[in-house]
């Protein structure tokens, strides 16, 4: 994959991706990181592909303007935990201190971000285990294990062996949204598909789920804007 640019202020970086199986030129602007990808079929020149991208520049700029910029967590910011706002402030000790709706981060920035991420993952494991246990009991099926990852393409999965995987960033979403994802994945213990029978199980376990699904479609990408690296 190579990179090219479209002129502008600022310039727009475009990643060219050649794909022999593609039937036409396509453009995609990632909701997660704002990366612009131009997929080029076999037999189409780079110049022709870039002319196509130039014709779509107004659309690209509109998409980029709507994309939320990533933000490195730091004192002075607010984040959401289980949908509730939490203020990050500068602490005086070496350990993360959680008090109600306030989290005091250690003075050493790198340590503070890492400790905050560890704490959020711990909260995610508690909440996702709670929800998964609840829905598995209702379904009468047991899952084999539960793991957390920082996935960007899916919020959860269920393997044929009954292993559940979730994005730990669900702890940043409203609690009903986290519960919906748990119900969705637990339902796969019974139906490994998205058939009407599967959705009937989700409805039995969770109840009406259109609002939760809609929240993920509209706001899910914003959960990835928070950065915890150095």
Model confidence, pTM: 0.75
User: Smallest Cα–Cα separation from 53: which of 24, 11, 25, 21?
Assistant: 25
180 contacts 205 by C-beta, under 8 angstroms: no
How far is the CA of 98 from the CAs of 129, 175, 195, in angstroms? 21, 19, 43
Q: Please, what are the domains in the chain?
A: 2-66 (no CATH), 78-227 (3.30.2010.10)
Strand 97-99's sheet: what is its strand order? 78-81, 84-90, 102-105, 97-99
Exposed e or buried b per residue across 6-22, where buried means at least 16 C-beta atoms within 10 angstroms of its C-beta: beeeeebebebeeeeee
The pLDDT score that the predictor gives to residue 61 is 82
Q: CA-to-CA distance for 21 and 40, rounded, in angstroms?
A: 10
**Secondary structure class of 4 (helix, strand, coil):** strand
What is the per-residue pLDDT for 29? Answer: 83
What are the distances in angstroms from CA 222 to CA 91, 99, 100, 164, 178?
A: 26, 25, 23, 23, 15
Query: Do 59 and 74 touch, CB atoms closer than 8 A?
Result: no
Q: Please name which of 206, 207, 224 lies closest in space to residue 155, comparing C-alpha atoms.
A: 224
Distances (CA, A) of 9 to 5, 34, 46, 110: 11, 16, 23, 33
Q: pLDDT in tens for each of the 230 residues of the chain? A: 688 888 877 788 899 888 888 889 999 887 666 788 999 998 889 899 899 989 988 888 877 766 666 788 999 999 999 989 999 999 988 899 999 899 999 877 678 999 999 999 999 999 999 999 999 999 999 999 999 999 877 899 999 999 999 999 999 999 999 999 999 999 999 999 999 999 999 999 999 999 999 999 888 888 988 888 75
pLDDT at 1: 64
| pLDDT score recorded for residue 30 | 78
Contact 223, 185 (CB under 8 A): no
Question: β-pairing, 84-90 with 102-105?
Answer: parallel
């Amino acid at each position: 994959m190579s990179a090219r640019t479209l002129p502008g202020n600022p310039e727009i970086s475009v990643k060219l991706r050649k794909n022999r199986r593609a039937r036409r030129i396509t453009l995609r602007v990632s909701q997660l990181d704002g990366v612009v990808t131009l997929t080029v079929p076999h037999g189409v020149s780079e110049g022709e592909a870039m002319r196509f991208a130039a014709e779509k520049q107004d659309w690209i700029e509109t998409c980029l303007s709507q994309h939320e910029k990533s933000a490195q967590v730091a004192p002075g910011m607010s984040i959401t935990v289980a949908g509730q706002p939490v203020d990050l402030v500068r602490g005086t000790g070496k350990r993360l201190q959680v008090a109600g709706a306030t989290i005091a981060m250690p003075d050493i920035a790198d340590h503070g971000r890492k400790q905050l991420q560890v704490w959020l993952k711990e909260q995610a494991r508690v909440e996702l285990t709670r929800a998964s246990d609840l829905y598995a009991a209702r379904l009468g099926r047991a899952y084999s294990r539960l793991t957390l990852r920082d996935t960007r393409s899916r919020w959860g999965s269920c393997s044929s062996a009954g292993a559940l995987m979730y994005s730990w960033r669900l702890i940043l979403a409203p609690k009903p949204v986290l519960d919906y994802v748990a119900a969705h994945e637990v339902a796969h213990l019974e139906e490994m598909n998205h058939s009407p029978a599967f959705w009937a199980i989700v409805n039995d376990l969770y109840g009406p789920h259109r609002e939760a699904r809609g929240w993920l479609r509209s706001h899910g990408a914003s959960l990835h804007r928070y950065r915890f690296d150095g």
